[in-house]
Chains A and B, each alone.
Chain A
Amino acid sequence: MGETLLTVQNLSAWYSEQKRILSGFSFSLAGHEVAGLIGLNGAGKTTFLKVLSGLLPTFRSDGICFCGAPVDFRKQDFKLCRYTVFAEDNSFSYFTFREYLAYVCAAYGKEVTDVSELVQGFHFEEYTDTLLRELSTGNRKKAFLITAFALKPRLLLLDEPVNGLDFQSTEYLYQRILGYKEYGTVLFSSHILESITLTSDRVFVLEDGKIRQTFEGGQINAADIREALHDENDR
């Protein structure tokens, strides 16, 4: 793991003032690590990823720093350093995968690289020139995942990346997430314990909009995390 990439202090986020989804949320991410977010439904995983993606303006924090400097999630400098794969995404549905990739690469100011290995790994060869709207949920997810790994941003945010993927593609995704440390940091949310234990250097267990427990290195095992989630359920 490298130096600290992102720090968030005492973050609160809400959709309506009456109900805070995140509250007193503090955490940090190191460079070149894989961090997993796990929690029950409504714990705030997707909301946190939306805040980081600049899509939720209703939040407050005592300090957010990216590479040691204060950051605005909606500013171009930060946007160029991160890419998010959302749990459900039907955007740009009249582009084919190739066109979408070219469009996103242009937006990030990068050349379109050779993605044939990724396309093969995700078994996506047949669909590269099909409109995204005509793809199944799983294949659309693959299109966004391939784009994410081709883009290689410093911070890759994945919201429920395993949902909708077939067995082979899930295995390939785990390999890719593990290998991503070479390029940057991955923060991903998941309900699948296996996906977290197989790939993460650190695991954050979310409960009621806060991080309740953190597991690191050798502490990461399915039994302990399951117990933490059960405790959360019982509380």
Chain B
Amino acid sequence: MMKMTGKAFAKKLFGAKYERLSRTLLIDVIIFWGLYIAGFQVQVAASVRILMLSAFTAGVMWQALSSRDNAVELKHMLMLPHQPQEFVFSYVAVLGAYTVLTKTGLLLAVLLAVSAWKPIEMIGMVISMLHAVLMAAVVYSLRKYWYAGGIWAAAIVSVILFLGSGLLLDLLLFVNGFVAILILRKAEVYAFYQGESEKSHAVRQRKKASLWRYFFRYLSCHKNYMVNTAVMWCVAIVMPYFLRGMAGLSVVPVGFAILSLNTPICILLSCDRDLEQAVRFLPGQKRRFCIPYCLFIFSCNMAADMIFLLSWQMQNGGIAVSLIAGAVFFALQSAVLSVLLEWLYPIRNWKIESDLWHHPRKYVVPVVMLLLAGGASAWPALLYILLALLAVEIPVLLFICGRHPE
């Protein structure tokens, strides 16, 4: 039974013939060798490496556990007779394997390629990843005691930072992981099933439809997207402190490009297949849907850029109108490109939401923005050329929307 439960989940996550696993591992190897041969090296402390791997693994595992698609799968599986303990372990094992092999594997490949490490440290890294998987599963199953989970997680982070790395830390993580297994043995299987929310949103009676209201409701119902936006604003506040030492005002466009990294709001159609079907089927959606959507992303980006500029002005001073124009360019251009990508190439082949949140296509626009920012930092006149191009691009796109509204 345990084998069958595990197989059912594994086939959903890795594909019918586990083809996704071999593909991802091949990509990891290619990235490792590519970076290793390039000889790009940075100094990363062993404790930071352990912390990065642990935090990333736990975060992805949490996303996988709380995925709505998994809830649907779980509903059907839980309806069948099952052994609770076996079910919990096979479920956690498959989600853990998915997290470590398809997500953390990539981070591990990058870390191993760009930083110096000893073979013995590899044991610690593997233990930290497995430990993070178990911890995320335990805290998730006991989320009604979230404060206890929070204290437990904070204690582990403190231990990692305090002990750095070494045999003692490995041993502690191993013991803690064992405790997590003991708790999972007693875990209630239904604790992993996040049923439909019964919370009803009081909505005022409105006879007019506003997509802006729709987008704000969407944002407020997805707490992780809200958190992501709040994190970007916090980054906007502290970034001037880190950037000012680099190259003065010329580095400000790089800040704008980094702040366009609020990617969850840029995959609205990819993550909602029914909405995508509806906007393709209803008439005139290039104009009626895409333009408000573009303006919504622009406003989110622009809000972060304005916080960044205000923070820079307070810390370093010297903000001129040209930089405000630069903020408009980066916020609007990234919004336009994001909407174009969503309309022309939505992400379709995702298995669970977690795939979507780490899909490489999401980072295409921020990478383009970073390249443009790099160019504008090296050659400030480029910003004016880009603004002029944007001034042409927008009317052309609006004209196309008007001519071909379908």
Q: State A54–B205 Cα separation when bound (angstroms).
A: 33
Tell me the bound Cα distance from A175 to B210 in angstroms: 33
Q: B17 at the A/B interface (Cβ < 8 Å)?
A: no
Q: Which positions in A face B, CB cutoff 8 Å?
A: 53-55, 74-76, 79-80, 84, 86, 88-96, 98-104, 106-109, 112, 128-131, 134
- Asked if A131 and B281 sit within 8 Å, CB to CB, the answer is no
Among A91, A94, A128, A131, the most chain B Cβ lie within 10 Å of the Cβ of A94
**Is the pair A79, B275 in contact by a Cβ cutoff of 8 Å?**
no
Q: Which of A93, A98, A107 has the most CB of B within 10 A?
A: A107
A76 touches B405 (CB 8 A): yes
Q: Find out whether the CB atom of A94 lies under 8 angstroms from the CB atom of B284.
A: no
Q: Does B406 contact A (CB under 8 A)?
A: yes
Q: Are A95 and B283 in contact (CB under 8 A)?
A: no
Is B203 at the interface (CB under 8 A from chain A)? yes
A-B residue pair count with CB separations less than 8 angstroms: 87
Q: Is the interface of A mostly helix, strand, loop or mixed?
A: loop
16 CB contacts below 8 A, A to B, read A53-B281, A76-B404, A89-B278, A91-B277, A94-B221, A95-B209, A96-B203, A98-B207, A99-B209, A99-B214, A101-B209, A102-B207, A102-B209, A106-B209, A106-B288, A107-B283
Contact A94 B214 (CB under 8 A): yes
CA of A92 to CA of B278, assembled, Å: 8
Considering only CB atoms, which chain B residue lies closest to A108 in the complex?
B283
Q: Residue B19 at the A interface, CB < 8 A?
A: no
Is B406 touching A75 in the complex (CB atoms < 8 A)?
yes
* Structural contact, B281 and A104, CB atoms closer than 8 A: no
Cβ contact within 8 Å between A100 and B209: yes
When distances are taken between beta carbons in the complex, the residues of chain B under 8 Å from A75 are 406
Which residues of B approach A to under 8 Å, CB–CB?
200-201, 203-211, 213-214, 217-218, 221, 272, 274-275, 277-285, 288, 404-406
Instruction: Report the nearest B residue to A76, measured CB to CB.
Output: B406
19 more contacts with CB within 8 A, not counting A86-B277, A92-B275, are: A54-B280, A55-B281, A80-B283, A89-B277, A89-B278, A90-B274, A91-B277, A93-B272, A93-B274, A94-B221, A96-B206, A101-B209, A106-B288, A107-B288, A108-B283, A109-B284, A128-B205, A129-B206, A130-B200
A79, B209: Cβ atoms under 8 Å? no
Is the pair A98, B285 in contact by a Cβ cutoff of 8 Å? no
Residue of B nearest to A105 (CB): B209
Residue of A nearest to B209 (CB): A103
The smallest beta-carbon distance between B17 and chain A, in angstroms, is 16
- Contact status A94-B277, CB under 8 Å: no
Q: How far is the CB of B249 from chain A (nearest CB, A)?
A: 41
**List of A residues within 8 angstroms of B200 by Cβ:** 130, 134
CB distance from B349 to the nearest CB of A (A): 14
Cβ contacts under 8 Å, A79 to chain B: 281-284, 406
Q: Which residue of A lies closest to B198 (CB)?
A: A134
Contact partner, A107, options B201, B272, B284, Cβ 8 Å: B284
Report how far A112 CA is from B285 CA in the complex, Å. 18
Inter-chain contacts of A99 with B (CB < 8 A): 206, 208-210, 213-214
- How far, in whole Å, are A101 and B207 apart by their CA atoms in the complex? 9
Complex Cα–Cα for A96 and B207 (A): 9
Q: Which residues of A contact B218 (CB under 8 A)?
A: 94
* 7 A-B pairs closest in CB distance: A91-B278, A103-B209, A79-B283, A91-B274, A94-B217, A102-B209, A99-B209
